Amino acid sequence: MKALVTGSAGQLGLAITRILDQDFEVVALRRAELDITDSAAVLQVTRRVRPDVILNCAAYNDVDGAEGDPVTAMAVNGFAVRALATAARESAAVLVHYGTGFVFDGEAEQPYDELAVPAPKGVYATSKLLGEWFARGAARHYVLRVESLFGGGAEAGDSDAGRLGSTLDRMVDAMLAGRPIRGFTDRTVSPSYAPDVALATRALLEADARTGLYHCVNTGLATWFEVARFAAASLQCESLLTPGTMDSVEMRAPRPRFCALSNAKLVGAGAVMPPWEDAVTRYLAARRAST
């Protein structure tokens, strides 16, 4: 099976490329090699590569920056996905597109499942929901929502790791450097380890699972403070961690306070999603091994 990966230099793109490269013929393209906002270029590449599956790992992920640059956020996260869906439909390829738990308003008390109605707050969240809608234009598609993605670059010693860091990556960077950190006690998440997301993606493709929307997160939920405390205990640097609240930090874009997702549908389709604690333990072990 031939797989075309867009955004292959990003955090998720690196993990997807590494995992699929074991069993697939992978054509991995960085932004410099394929700008997905150029619909003509997208068609040109897919006609040349003739992929069986297109995995879109390209995204505009600057949540606060999107508030001041909505045109770019909508172009990358939204309208570019329409071009990919058109290309997938033309080449009879499966389209895999990655969404986010930010599409919800954060007012729930139980993990969101795939039937929950999105209510995005802010430009970034809206642009990602738009991309989900456009992904459905592909005859066969998987929309995989991730939440609080981590790993994929830093733990593998990748040269791009410094610019790939997400919240947990930055926290661990600070702990390893002996710098103090703060974890939110009022924001609940379902962390997603990039290699586990990649393995789940491969499982869906290899099983030819029913296409559609899946929540692709590690099992369980926790506040950011609890996640950080678990990592700090593993690194024996609990003294560096202090609790905090979202109100104590000025953020341009709104964040959902509760954005834990249920992965029951994904697990039911045959993907294995270990508990987030197991994922963080493996991630920290890989970080140690790479230093």
The model's pLDDT over 91-129, given as tens digits with 9 standing for 90+, comes to: 999 999 999 999 999 999 999 999 999 999 999 999 999
Q: What angle do CA 232, 146, 136 make, to 5 degrees?
A: 175
Rounded to the nearest integer, the mean pLDDT of the chain is: 93
The residues that bridge with 29 in the sheet, in sequence order, are: 6
Q: Are strands 241-244 and 212-215 parallel, antiparallel or unpaired?
A: unpaired
CA distance 24 to 6: 15
For 2-290, the fitting CATH number among 1.10.760.10, 2.60.40.10, 3.40.50.720, 2.40.50.140 is: 3.40.50.720
CA distance 26 to 5: 7
CA distance 86 to 247: 42
Is residue 160 very low, low, confident or very high in pLDDT (cuts 50, 70, 90)?
very low
For residue 161, pLDDT over 50 is answered with no
Listed by start position, the domains of the chain span 2-290
For residue 159, pLDDT over 70 is answered with no
What residue type is 234 in one-letter code?
A: S
CA distance 204 to 213: 12
Contact 133, 118 (CB under 8 A): no
Task: Give pLDDT, residue 123.
Answer: 97
Task: Give pLDDT, residue 249.
Answer: 85
Q: Are strands 141-146 and 94-100 parallel, antiparallel or unpaired?
A: parallel
Sign of CA dihedral 112, 227, 266, 196: positive
